[in-house]
Amino acid sequence: MGSVPGRIVVYGVTGSGKTTLARKLAERTGLPWHSVDDDLAWEPGWVAVPDEEQRRRITLLVAEDRWIIDGMFSRWRDIALPRAELIVALDYPRWVSLSRLVRRTVVRCVTRRRICNGNVETVREIFSGDSIIVWHFRSFARKRRILRGWEADPGVPVVRLTSPRKTRRWLASREW
């Protein structure tokens, strides 16, 4: 990869490490990173940003020449995907992403660390139908099909990484 792509999507299943990798890519490349959860999806009090407002926000964001986003929601993928120059797809085994997700969620509940515009995860939410862990099970197969489909017939170049070790090696091997 000679020149650094200016518009990068980090995509993967819930808990795969999209945000962490996007942040590291931003540090290495100097590209501005935008958290999908913070910038597009959630308001304080776990209020979901309405779909139309998410589409408005992503339209403005991806109109810029340089960015990294840590995900793509189906409700606005049609806006972001055509502008992307590279998709970094985290396609880890379920046990990797699920164990990361459970560990992260429990730590956040205990520490009450604020995320997504000041929201806090709670034990009650972990066991609710809207739990991020439940979402992992609902979305895992669909997200994997999507990223593997992009790799098989890419309209945008795709780097599919199948383990955290391969991701670290890929990141370290790039001359950003």
| Number of CB atoms found within 10 A of residue 107's CB | 11
pLDDT at site 52: 94
Is residue 2 a part of any domain in this protein? no
Is residue 102 a part of any domain in this protein? yes
Residue 71: strand, helix, or coil: coil
Residue 56: strand, helix, or coil: helix
Question: Rounded mean pLDDT of 80-104?
Answer: 92
Q: What is the span of the domain harbouring residue 56?
A: 7-173
**Structural contact between residues 157 and 87, judged by C-beta atoms closer than 8 angstroms:** yes
Average pLDDT, the chain: 87
Is residue 105 a part of any domain in this protein? yes
Question: Rounded mean pLDDT of 55-80?
Answer: 94
- CATH number at 151 reads 3.40.50.300
Question: Rounded mean pLDDT of 27-46?
Answer: 87
pLDDT at site 108: 78
For residue 1, is pLDDT > 50?
A: no
Is residue 14 a part of any domain in this protein? yes
